[in-house]
A and B are shown apart, each in its own frame.
Chain A
Amino acid sequence: AQTVTQSQPEMSVQEAETVTLSCTYDTSESDYYLFWYKQPPSRQMILVIRQEAYKQQNATENRFSVNFQKAAKSFSLKISDSQLGDAAMYFCAYRSLLTGTASKLTFGTGTRLQVTL
């Protein structure tokens, strides 16, 4: 079974600065997907960014980018130019490509990000 570890329960960043959230995972599979989800106080789960394991290029979405190190099984999220609206809980998640697993995600325990003025 896969596991996902987020070792930073809480992080803080000043507005306009850059912050990196860590995520490591364990799997014996060679192909899979990795995701970062954001959960603001509204409780909504919002997809931030995703990465296909077979792609060496790191995914980017505007101010959000990842550092995907497949050999090290590491998948960190970098938020540039942090904004007050980025304050939320962030979850790292793993999805297998095995048949029938499209709705099965394994989540980390989350990192709560505070953004200060």
Chain B
Amino acid sequence: NAGVTQTPKFQVLKTGQSMTLQCAQDMNHEYMSWYRQDPGMGLRLIHYSVGAGITDQGEVPNGYNVSRSTTEDFPLRLLSAAPSQTSVYFCASSNIPNSPLHFGNGTRLTVT
């Protein structure tokens, strides 16, 4: 059982480039979310989804887009990367409120 799979594990971008961080889960979870982790700031919610076709903004959504066309996939798009987006990104999923979040292994993104 793969759980939550994030790709790539590492990425280096130049300022202004675009890219998509991939996230897929095979547990048929309705709820998915993206977090970024910065030193001294814990994890902060970027965007989340409560099911296919439904997304909403979290605490730090600026500079990121998401879509949820299927239950399994929840990609995170950076349209024009900025150095402030250098971070570790985590995707997570859950099925019901009293079950814990399942996290992917993270993507370390560096924007130069």
Chain B CB within 8 A of A11 CB: no
- B103 — nearest CB in chain A belongs to which residue? A45
**Chain B hits for A101, CB < 8 A:** 97
Chain A CB within 8 A of B19 CB: no
State in angstroms the CA–CA spacing of A102 and B96 once bound together.
Answer: 6
**Are A107 and B42 in contact, with the CB atoms below 8 A?**
yes
Residues of A within 8 A of B (CB): 4, 6, 9, 33, 35, 42-45, 47, 50, 52, 91, 93, 95, 97, 100-110
**Are A109 and B97 in contact, with the CB atoms below 8 A?**
no
- A52 — nearest CB in chain B belongs to which residue? B98
How many interface residues does B have (CB within 8 Å)? 31
State in angstroms the CA–CA spacing of A102 and B54 once bound together.
Answer: 14
Chain A CB within 8 A of B50 CB: yes
**Are B40 and A103 in contact, with the CB atoms below 8 A?**
no
State in angstroms the CA–CA spacing of A57 and B85 once bound together.
Answer: 41
- Which residue in A35, A50, A97, A104 is a CB contact (below 8 Å) of B48? A104
**Are A102 and B94 in contact, with the CB atoms below 8 A?**
yes
- A47 — nearest CB in chain B belongs to which residue? B100
Chain A CB within 8 A of B13 CB: no
**Chain A hits for B71, CB < 8 A:** none
**12 A-B residue pairings within 8 Å (CB atoms):** A33-B97, A33-B98, A44-B103, A45-B90, A45-B101, A91-B42, A100-B50, A102-B94, A103-B49, A103-B92, A105-B101, A107-B42
**Chain A hits for B97, CB < 8 A:** 33, 95, 97, 101-102
